[in-house]
């Protein structure tokens, strides 16, 4: 797991430097794709997941009027799910983009089971 943490940290820091944005707002797909590439290179099985992220206090200015109230609380989000030895573990490198909309502290990097997150909702493999 230490190698996974190191790769995740490196990918996040490189993205923060490249985009000059600590929150990596709206960058979850491209950052998660990069993480998949780096983990795969290291021989670690994983897949890109498209799901939703539960927020407590949605910023209405981020949403179109056409989007229902329910969706305001569950914005689209991407993360990585490990397979093989660490099956079921997820890695989110951009969850902090939602910090302003959440009551509790959102870590820059989340590594754990989806159920431990309390915020990652539903998910499907994104090819």
User: Strands (DSSP E) along the chain, which ranges?
Assistant: 46-53, 76-82, 89-92, 110-113, 120-125
Distance separating alpha carbons of residues 12 and 2, to the nearest angstrom:
15
Q: Which of 72-81, 92-101, 118-127 has the highest mean pLDDT?
A: 92-101
Threshold 0.85, pTM exceeds: no
Per-residue pLDDT tens digits for 34-84: 999 999 999 999 999 999 887 776 666 655 555 555 444 677 789 999 999
What stretch of H or E contains 122? strand 120-125
pLDDT of residue 117: 80
């Amino acid at each position: 797991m230490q190698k996974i943490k190191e790769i995740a940290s490196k990918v996040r820091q490189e993205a923060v430097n490249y985009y000059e944005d600590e929150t990596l707002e709206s960058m979850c797909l491209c950052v998660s794709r990069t993480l998949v590439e780096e983990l795969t290179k290291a021989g670690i099985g994983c897949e890109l997941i498209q799901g939703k992220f539960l927020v407590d206090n949605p910023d209405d200015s981020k949403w179109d009027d056409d989007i229902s109230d329910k969706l305001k609380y569950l914005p689209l989000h991407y993360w990585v799910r490990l397979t093989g030895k660490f099956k079921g573990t997820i890695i989110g490198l951009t969850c902090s983009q939602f910090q302003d909309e959440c009551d509790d502290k959102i870590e820059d990097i989340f590594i754990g089971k989806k159920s431990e997150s309390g915020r990652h909702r539903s998910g499907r493999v994104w090819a």
